[in-house]
Amino acid sequence: MSRLLAGLTAASSMALLLLSCAPAREIPEPQDRPIEGRMIERDAELRMQAEAVGGGPPVVLIGGGLTGWASWEPHAARLAATRTAVRLQLISVQYGLEDRPLPPGYSIRLESRALAGALDALQLREPLDLVAWSYGALATLDFALDHPERVRSLVLIEPPAIWVLSAQGRDDPEVRSLEALGRGLKHKITEADLERFVAMVGLVPPATRPQELPQWPVWMRHRRSLRQGAAAVDHHDDPSRLRDFAQPVLLVTGTGTAPFLRRIHEILAQELPHARTAEMPAGHAPHLVSADRFLAELAAFHARGQP
């Protein structure tokens, strides 16, 4: 997996990051203390599996709904030079890897509670820097809105927060197609299911067969993670909670992402009062394709609280 993602980051030399102006908000200094324990025991009903490397102020990385924390492996290795990089594994991904059915009543809020449980188990109760991608970013947003006092800063990379579209009364054909696909992903996930999914969310360049990409074998091994199905579509929230969120936020998107994810990105940028936006040449995984630039801007965002 590391070799695969390292290959993806080779494109970072061509990346250009565009930051928009937004109200500046100071980020307080993070606490620097050792984290007790490098691995917590998995208890998927209560908390996400966690792994910590490095030393220094913690930064928490939450992966996407297909490959989970594996997507943050190269970033964690680099962040560990100055930070304690804590990777969290989504419940849906871990259960998929173990080929187990999801817990009864599985939802985004279950993932959010599992995130809180992992931080509690690691005794991370101070305000934290949270960095999350895709499906993990949706769960992390729910956690942040529930527990703003536990957030120092928030970085969201292409969260499928479909509920913000619904709150504006938007009837999106792409979302209806994604919902139809998701509701069918209950048991066996076929190669055709995976192919449709990665194309739908913008992980595949135009006019490219997913099977031709070096990532395809990794996606195939993780395909059972998609059993979370329509949880993102079924999740709803109150838009006023976005407007009340006072912590600094960096929203990251790719220039070639799916149109519905672009619309979500734009709405979140409007609703979150202290949000800045970053756009990189990529599809749904800008932090991988443009990893060098992403990490540089992440460090600047954490250090200064503004671009």
Looking at residue 42, its pLDDT comes to: 52
b/e 218-257 (16+ beta carbons within 10 angstroms → b): bbeebbbbbbbbbbbbebebeeeebeebebbbbbbbbbbb
Looking at residue 178, its pLDDT comes to: 77
Angle, helices 259-271/173-184, rounded to nearest 10 degrees: 110
Looking at residue 17, its pLDDT comes to: 27
Looking at residue 180, its pLDDT comes to: 81
Tell me which residue of 88, 64, 61, 89 sits closest to 75, measured CA to CA. Answer: 61
Give the span between the Cα atoms of 39 and 49, in whole angstroms. 8
Match 């109150």 to its residue by tokens: 238
Looking at residue 217, its pLDDT comes to: 92
Strand partners for 153: 129
Which CATH number belongs to the domain containing residue 28 in this structure?
Answer: 3.40.50.1820
Helices and strands (H, E) in the chain, number of each type: 14, 8
| C-alpha separations of 131 from 87, 144, 170, 222 in Å | 10, 11, 28, 21
Domain count, the chain: 1
For each of the chain's 307 residues, which pLDDT tens digit applies? 333 233 323 333 222 222 222 333 344 444 444 444 344 445 444 689 999 999 999 999 999 988 899 999 999 999 999 999 999 999 999 999 998 888 888 999 999 999 999 999 999 989 999 999 999 999 999 999 999 999 999 999 999 999 999 888 777 787 788 778 778 777 788 999 898 888 888 888 888 898 999 889 998 988 988 888 788 888 999 999 999 999 999 999 999 898 899 999 999 999 999 999 999 988 899 998 899 999 999 998 998 754 3
Domain that holds residue 272: 2-304
Which run of H or of E encompasses 222? none
DSSP 58: E
